[in-house]
Structure 1
């Protein structure tokens, strides 16, 4: 049932006749998809949460401006998009540079599963939804200036007509079309060249086996075995820590100099974020008598090899539904609240 049908059922002609509780019920139905939209715009899970709250506040305060010419959902998207642009103007007026995004945060697949099914039977729609939430896409889109970024997401992800985008942003159709061309050119510059070869979708047997081998080699801190799993042009980053490593030799040398090879007491829990395979690594702490969160590796796989590793800090474990600790070997492990396998 759409939010607009709900308005009719409430027996009102406009949102100005709806009380705050009823309005909140209408808006909440769109929270997850608006959050994902803001996440694409901002690259930060936390900033997206704040912006959705700001969107609902603005919508309630300006409810009399909803005239019914568009759907309630589209009206909320317009407010959310402009709230994102306002935030970017304050905190990030300049886009990312250098191929890395220091404010990037992961998005749990278990929350992406809450999105409305929509045109789930349309393969193209499903592909677009998956590809435009993967981290490589998020990194590329954050390299665009804010307004072209908004145009690209509204046109190419949401499929809005140029006229609607122009109305949303207060621009002309010609201006929107020009911004879209610039944005697409920018995306071609920053997206991986082999984008059409991404595994995407459900992980195939080859990808699962590669992730298993990566897990075993990582826990054993066996750099020689890990090296065989990396493509020659592999990229590694660790937001918000600056530093992008490009190339297998560079990545391996960085691991060696960081002391990874001599690390002991690692365990790993598989998960998935941004529709990509990921691993939460835990390090043994003798005083705690348990394995505690260390880092999360999110992998991009192309042609049977790892082409990108984005590592996140331990502050992301709780959001991803990963256990706060793992018990010593041989003791009972607490239940896992995310989608993982043993």
Structure 2
């Protein structure tokens, strides 16, 4: 075993740990820890399993250990009922927020089949965080990686019966917490483009035409969230026209279309990051927006994506 043999599995292990933890930054740290443990323990590796399987075992258990004392990552909908759009609340810095991941990083995984949309979209990863850590691991290993029960049990150091029981409970919870969703269709990116253009013009009516009546909007690290087109539109009318000059562009995250935005406030001399908004599109309408108003998230995407295709600016 050598460093190159370990390194070829880095990206798929990071994707695996991201599903378990809801944070790419934590995933990167724990994969690095996995490689250190594997290298230090290489003499004890007996070759009964592949190096890849051995690394998954180390990484999975490292993630489980990390979550024993840590907070699970959430979205604003986990904090309480929808907010009155006339109210505004300050950011919550005491909450561990779920983080998005750029598609560009997912595309670098040699195991592309394991980063299909339905296994990495934000709603799926968010729902995973509601499972107890071991159930989460079993569900990912069985239903995403496709490992058999015996191999899953060995990975986690439990019996096959316990692995199967954990899988049944995890699947039941996922069914309860996830709405049935239709496939987004080929117009997904076009809807995102039209939304970005309306957003840049501060055209609230144009944005409203692209929202489903039952749409939901969240804005971490702001703790409030809105349910229904009317509430979202009211919130937009109260804020968007007064931000300043906007620039928007398209990218992708978690296999979903995303819109990034920059704003130049009145009296300011430069554009500054405003939000990165992931869109969920069904039947030609947006059913959910998750707008990350977090400079760290924006900087992370800027480092991994050239944010190409920026629209020309329009005064709001």
CA-CA distance at 1:52 after TM superposition: 0.9
TM superposition score normalised by structure 1: 0.79
TM superposition score normalised by structure 2: 0.85
Is 1:42 matched up with 2:21?
yes
Quick check: 1:100–1:139 contact (8 Å CA) kept in 2? no
CA-CA distance at 1:24 after TM superposition: 2.3
Instruction: Give the Cα separation in 1 of the matches to 2:297 and 2:241.
Output: 24
Instruction: Give the Cα separation in 2 of the matches to 1:97 and 1:179.
Output: 25
CA-CA distance at 1:291 after TM superposition: 1.6
C-alpha distance after superposition, 1:192-251 (max 9, x if no partner): 312x4234xxxx2x2233122211211122222211111111121122332232222222
SS at match of 2:244: coil
CA-CA distance at 1:319 after TM superposition: 1.9
Q: Which residue of 2 aligns with 1:197?
A: 183
Quick check: 2:102–2:254 contact (8 Å CA) kept in 1? yes
Distance verdict in 2 for CA 1:240–1:67, change over 3 Å:
farther
Instruction: Give the Cα separation in 2 of the matches to 1:338 and 1:300.
Output: 19
Quick check: 1:162–1:177 contact (8 Å CA) kept in 2? yes
CA-CA distance at 1:110 after TM superposition: 1.2
CA-CA distance at 1:138 after TM superposition: 0.8
Distance verdict in 2 for CA 1:293–1:97, change over 3 Å:
closer
Distance verdict in 2 for CA 1:26–1:339, change over 3 Å:
farther
Structure 2 gap ranges (5+): 80-95, 312-316
Quick check: 2:22–2:129 contact (8 Å CA) kept in 1? yes
Higher alpha-carbon Rg:
1
Aligned pairs for 1:154-303 (under 5 A) are 154-194=141-181, 196-199=182-185, 204=186, 206-257=187-238, 259-285=239-265, 289-303=269-283
Structure 1 gap ranges (5+): 1-6, 8-22, 324-335
Q: Which residue of 1 aligns with 2:98?
A: 104
SS at match of 2:216: strand
CA-CA distance at 1:95 after TM superposition: 7.4
Q: Which residue of 2 aligns with 1:75?
A: 54
Is 1:152 matched up with 2:139?
yes
CA-CA distance at 1:129 after TM superposition: 2.3
CA RMSD for the aligned pairs?
2.4
Is 1:337 matched up with 2:297?
no
Q: Which residue of 2 aligns with 1:13?
A: none
C-alpha distance after superposition, 1:15-62 (max 9, x if no partner): xxxxxxxx3222111111100000000001111111111111221222
Structure of higher RCO (CA pairs closer than 8 Å, 6+ residues apart)? 2
Q: Which residue of 2 aligns with 1:135?
A: 122
Q: Which residue of 1 aligns with 2:41?
A: 62
Aligned residues: 294
SS at match of 1:76: helix
Instruction: Give the Cα separation in 1 of the matches to 2:206 and 2:273.
Output: 24
